[in-house]
A and B are shown apart, each in its own frame.
Chain A
Amino acid sequence: MRKYAVIYSSVLMENLQYAANVALGFFGYFVFIFIFIKLWGYMYRTPGELIAGYTKEQMIWYVMMTEMLFFGSGAASVAGEVAGDIRGGNIVYLLNKPYHYTLYVLTKYTGEWSVRLPMYAALAVVIGVVMVGPLPRFPLAAVPAMALCVVLGLTINAVFKLCISLFSFWIEDTTPFQWLYNKLIVVLGILFPVEIFPQKLQPLLKMTPIYTVCYGPAKLIVDFSPEKCVEILAAQGVYLAVGCGLMFLIYGKGVKKLYVNGG
């Protein structure tokens, strides 16, 4: 485990040098949130109105939280970089080290979002409190459970994106699949909570990774309940186990297909 801890701290060291660059992305986040504050302002006509069980404040905080996860996590190291390493041959240097390549990539990714996410979280809280108002009855004692849910959600997302990238062992370009996965997450999880979709569709959505990647963590933050927390954490546990199994399987098969030509 020590070697993974060192990989994590090295990435942290590397990324802390560029923390100021992360702040450049704040503008994009602010524009998104500003649009959604206005949009939901028009949708909710009367104070206290509920849409799909959410008050206006909860709905805006939900989008702020899911967008915070999206902006704050980035995914280059589990998506484009992995595919690029496999296609470009740089993987040669990563494979001949005494660690598991997929765990190396996941650790690296965790080190990256460890710098970005707290910065975006701070920004989200400031924007939320100033422009929307604090969440009523927010349970401070449940923050550790929420944080655990966020970490698991990001890890599951990374595992699935890594699975897609690992198909680069067979195909030349995995970008279209990453694009499709991202769009599904954005449309079905980031912009709207699951409850806003038709009743018949909801059980289906709850069976997709979207439920554990963005809906779950954001739902717990805006509307925490111990029962919901247990349900989401259990679902995350299942998804993480299935995702990791799939990841090891694809990697194990794919690495035998590696084709690296030239010096």
Chain B
Amino acid sequence: MQAIKVENLSKTFRVKRKEKGMKGSVKAILHPQTEEIRAVKDVSFAVEEGEMLAFIGPNGAGKSTTIKMLTGILYPDGGHAEVLGVDPVKKRRQLAYRIGTVFGQKEQLWTHLTPYDNFRFFGAIYDLSEKETEARIDELLERFALEDFINTPVRNLSLGQRIRCEIVASLLHRPKVLFLDEPTIGLDPVVKENVRELIRQMNEEEQTTIFLTSHDVGDIEKLCRRMIVVNAGQIVLDDSVEHLKRHDPQHSLEEIIVDIYKSEED
């Protein structure tokens, strides 16, 4: 069964343009100019339940915009998306109970509270009973090795510890689909490896569908069987990681991906 179904999804942003210098600033007040940027253009794909998909591309390719449309945060201008059979735009709050999100560059935890208080908070937000929340915290506490800092305010945690807590907060309500937007950004190699292992374990044990965006080839190689490459808002490749590596055995996956990006630029 398909967990995510996307057909001709599009999103256009209108951004301000200003000529350089003071003259340009004055001109922008009198004659404001805007430019339309098509962040996502007619994107179509599907993700099976329990699949781990890498959705990659260079900066500004439209990856995060796609995730935000799939989670109901941004409204698409065209096309249609379904996540777990639900239209994210029409039923965002209903969908929120069944998905989890981790944006590596943003924080969802309350920094002045401890991870434990945060988890209890998220448990209540997702309508889990106190008993269910406590049981789930105990389960994830062990799996993600949080014992040593569960009662330390989040603001005092290291980045690696915080990211682990961010992932746990997203998993408390047992989401069926987990959207990971650069979850390992800024982490050292050991912590990266640790986080990947935890994601892999969770996928295996709970059959969670993983939708991952990352610039780290290690994340893709170690987690995903399939990858979709987007560039300038369009899908330029949708293939299995294994097939790509077999097709070009002299080059590493990183080199293959860079070649794809470059060929698209040309």
Contacts and interface: CB of A to CB of B under 8 A. Distances in A.
Contacts of A10: 110, 113, 117, 121
B125 interface: yes
Contact of B73 (A7, A100, A260, A263): A260
A263 B61 CA distance: 10
B251 to A, nearest CB: 27
A182 interface: no
Contact of A98 (B93, B107, B185): B93
B181 interface: yes
B96 interface: yes
Nearest to B101: A96
A175 B92 CA distance: 30
Contact of A96 (B14, B73, B185): B73
A13 B153 CA distance: 12
A200 to B, nearest CB: 38
Interface in B55-84: 60, 63-65, 68, 71-75
A256 interface: yes
Contact of A95 (B92, B99, B104, B124): B92
Interface in B166-197: 181-182, 185
B182 A263 contact: yes
Nearest to A94: B108
A256 to B, nearest CB: 5
Contact of A3 (B63, B65, B94, B127): B127
B211 interface: no
A197 interface: no
B112 A14 contact: yes
B107 A6 contact: no
B45 interface: no
Interface string A246-263: 000000000110111111
A96 B124 CA distance: 15
A127 B120 CA distance: 41
Given A10-B113, A96-B92, A261 B125 contact: no
B151 to A, nearest CB: 13
B64 A263 contact: yes
A95 B69 CA distance: 12
B127 A98 contact: yes
B125 A99 contact: yes
Contact of A93 (B65, B93, B107, B185): B107
A74 to B, nearest CB: 16
A97 B127 contact: no
Contacts of B107: 90, 93
Nearest to A258: B74
Contacts of B68: 92, 260
Contacts of A13: 113, 117
A261 B13 contact: yes
Interface string B89-114: 00011101101010111111010110
Contacts of B120: 6
A263 B97 contact: no
B261 interface: no
A2 interface: yes
A237 interface: no
Nearest to A100: B93
Contact of B121 (A6, A92, A263): A6
B103 A95 contact: no
Given A10-B113, A17-B112, A259 B13 contact: yes
Given A13-B117, A92-B103, A263-B104, A258 B73 contact: yes
A80 interface: no
Given A97-B96, A259-B13, 5 more contacts: A5-B124, A261-B13, A262-B64, A263-B103, A263-B182
Nearest first, the 7 closest Cβ-Cβ pairs linking A and B are A6-B124, A98-B96, A93-B108, A14-B112, A256-B75, A96-B71, A263-B64
9 contacts: A7-B121, A10-B110, A10-B117, A14-B113, A90-B106, A93-B103, A96-B72, A258-B73, A263-B181
